[in-house]
Amino acid sequence: MPNDPKTLTTAPAPDNADLPRVTYAKTLVGQPALVTGANSGIGKATAIGLARAGADVVINYVTDPAAAEAVAHEIEGFGGRAIAIQADVSKEDEVLAMFAQAVSHFGTLHIVVSNAGLQRDSPFEQMTLEQWNTVIGINLTGQFLCTREAARVFRKRGIVSEVSVACGKIICMSSVHQEIPWAGHANYAASKGGVMLLMKSIAQELAPHRIRVNSVGPGAIRTPINTEAWSTLEAYADLMRLVPYKRIGEPDDIAQAVAWLASDAADYVTGATLFVDGGMTLYPGFATGG
């Protein structure tokens, strides 16, 4: 088992031999997509994955414009179309301006991936209101603002049957922590629990309009948000106790799930959370005993 912590001498690199080697079918041609927080981590991989599936892509970012432009250039490098747009997803005026710019640039949007998120970890009694508000503002209010704009754009346009049988697709980036309580991360877990019922409520409300709303629930994915959980051998071994599949997730594992949920292959799927977590939500502590 190549990623078995017992046989590793360093934390495994992303080119490990047991990683899937998958390409993207061209399922999203003619369906412009907006991905928030797309200049790094899961958002970056998702923007690239959707572009490989044929979508034109809006790369939203709030800091580090050079990183966002680099994602756009990577997409253009394989013949895709992309534009980077700055907006803080927790600010209504910036979200409205971003959607207006996206629609004027690509004509419309068919897919919105509400991905931007962050952590401000703290023991509960030391957690400041600022830490709480920052996480709820980006991770939950940001998803409210972006999914609301998505619904407005989709409904105003209606179904374009040449590109998709659905009127539009919203994918919320949630987490295993919409289910798994997380000491020291109460703000983050609360935000993802909120995303779960936001997603389900709007899925129920928008389904008659043929707008599908789903979440992806990543487990431990190799991104900057959790470097301390995988960058040393000790940390990686600890992490693997929580992952029955015994490898860390890669950003492309998530991008593949998003591309599928956005495609007509998933047309009867709405209101679902697709956990992509190597089994982290399977109560690995109960693998023995109980």
Q: How many CA atoms lie within 13 A of 185 on its CB side?
A: 16
Query: Cβ of residue 240: shortest distance to ligand BGC, in angstroms?
Result: 12
- Of the candidates 170, 35, 171, 36, the residue with the CA atom closest to the CA atom of residue 91: 36
Is residue 268 annotated as a catalytic residue, yes or no? no
Among 219, 252, 257, 276, the residue binding ligand BGC under the rule CB under 6 A is 219
Among 220, 258, 274, 276, the residue binding ligand BGC under the rule CB under 6 A is 220
Residues 39 and 62: their CA atoms lie apart, in Å, by 9
- Of the candidates 38, 58, 51, 151, the residue with the CA atom closest to the CA atom of residue 101: 58
Q: DSSP label at 158? A: -
Q: How many residues does the chain have?
A: 290
Between 45 and 85, name the residue whose CB sits nearer to ligand BGC: 45
Regarding 114 and contact with ligand BGC (CB under 6 A), the answer is no
Regarding 237 and contact with ligand BGC (CB under 6 A), the answer is no
Query: Cβ of residue 226: shortest distance to ligand BGC, in angstroms?
Result: 3
CB-based contact 251:276 (threshold 8 Å): no
Segment 166 to 185, residues that bind ligand BGC, using CB under 6 A:
175-177
Between 59 and 239, name the residue whose CB sits nearer to ligand BGC: 239
Query: Cβ of residue 254: shortest distance to ligand BGC, in angstroms?
Result: 11
Q: DSSP label at 108? A: -
Among 133, 134, 226, 281, the residue binding ligand BGC under the rule CB under 6 A is 226
Per the structure block, which two tokens stand in for 174? 């949630």
Regarding 269 and contact with ligand BGC (CB under 6 A), the answer is no
Q: Which residues have CB under 8 Å from 158's CB, separation 6+?
A: 167
Binding mask 19-58 for ligand BGC (x = CB under 6 A): ----------------------------------------
Per the structure block, which two tokens stand in for 10? 């360093």
Dihedral-angle region of residue 269 (phi above 0 means left; psi in -120 to 50 means alpha; beta otherwise) = beta
Q: Choose the binding region for ligand BGC from 2-10, 64-72, 223-231, 263-271 (rule: CB under 6 A).
A: 223-231
Catalytic site residues?
188
